[in-house]
Structure 1
């Protein structure tokens, strides 16, 4: 990333933090088993796309149970095009206080260095039972402790667009994800090569 892009992202982030100076509440309950599995990223914001997901399309996250309260994280994306080079990142997540703050997690990616980052689940969609008999949340809105980053995850892109997108867009607007912090749609097309 060029130093100029980094500076712009940093300055915009500072402005957003100054503007917001608030923490969104997180979900009061989280069924971790219903959160595991594959997610498709439907939206992120400029801060995500300018840093972790630069040039990414067809973005997915897969969460698994590593035991002992640790969740495996495997983020994948194609670079530039739906059949572009695969870019993948492995990490772990955990709840710091599952009894009192179940929607507040920390996620770390050892390959990136640094410590764990806040992963706050601000809203969850309904649970649906899949063909495998497992209940899973239909969508998740994820941010951090200062609402700088934004990720909207869904189990199925088409089902999400039909059933939940307008509800999520309204929630995002009401909760300050507008202007420079507005959601940007992630490309998911039939040509995407998923892993």
Structure 2
């Protein structure tokens, strides 16, 4: 698969019952960014959505009360342990002790925007997520073929059958980071040197962490810098400007 064409904003259009332990069906979205500093293919994960209440089952991220419900998000990484290009990754969320299987088992055509996948079917153990770039276009063009694929793959019965996500009247505040320009080619095709730099570690908003930075503020959370970022998990309605708090060998700045 083309991991670069997998990056950017996705909207969950289907889930199944086991996923309710980890996510809510309302306004669920994912934002994936390419981790260019990783040895093998890896993407940053920012899952966000809307819970009915802070204590609702599946509201496992960082709940924040807003008009219309409770916004939640959780950060993590999905990575491979070799250079193969199949869709089997290890998904590790920040604060969750055990990694889980994240398998991309079907992909739509790379015709969204400047060359991104139109949809993706993600399975892992008993879990199912169907992701779409454009919700209306997905149901108009691709839903029939995906439903046939899911039935043939055994996603049937009370536990495993696909259930439709609600993506209506979703508040803008849950979409973090907000910016995704599908008219810009995927990172590997971009002319911007920063987007293709192998030395660039990217934050949850897709911005490069300065080279040599040891402690970084991404505009919302403070992060320890390594091959991937280890960040606090605060929710921010309006992120500030990012900055390096301390370079290697320096004392952290306020």
Normalised by the length of structure 1, the TM-score is 0.75
Q: 1:110 aligns with which of 81, 94, 119?
A: 94
Is 1:47 equivalent to 2:1 in the alignment? no
Would you say the 8 A contact 1:40–1:59 is kept in 2? yes
SS of residue paired to 1:48: helix
Distance 1:151 1:179 in 2: 16
Counterpart residue number, 2:82? 97
- Cα distance, 1:80 vs structure 2: 2.5
Counterpart residue number, 2:46? 74
Question: Which is helix-richer, 1 or 2?
Answer: 1
Counterpart residue number, 1:12? none
Counterpart residue number, 2:135? 157
Q: How does 1:26-65 map to 2 (within 5 A)?
A: 30-49=1-20, 51-54=21-24, 56-65=25-34
Q: How does 1:170-189 map to 2 (within 5 A)?
A: 170-180=148-158, 181-189=160-168
Would you say the 8 A contact 1:96–1:104 is kept in 2? no
Would you say the 8 A contact 2:78–2:90 is kept in 1? yes
Would you say the 8 A contact 2:111–2:118 is kept in 1? yes
Would you say the 8 A contact 2:14–2:164 is kept in 1? yes
Rg larger in structure: 2
Is 1:139 equivalent to 2:119 in the alignment? yes
1:140-163 deviation per Cα after TM superposition (whole angstroms, max 9, x unaligned): 11111x4x1000000010000100
Normalised by the length of structure 2, the TM-score is 0.58
Distance 1:137 1:129 in 2: 6
Would you say the 8 A contact 1:57–1:188 is kept in 2? yes
SS of residue paired to 1:135: coil
> Structure 2: which 5+ residue stretches go unaligned?
54-66, 176-254
Would you say the 8 A contact 2:112–2:133 is kept in 1? no
Higher relative contact order (CA 8 A, sep 6+): 1
Q: When the two structures are aligned, how many residues end up with a matched partner?
A: 156
Distance 1:169 1:98 in 2: 31
SS of residue paired to 2:171: coil
Would you say the 8 A contact 1:95–1:102 is kept in 2? no
Counterpart residue number, 1:87? 72
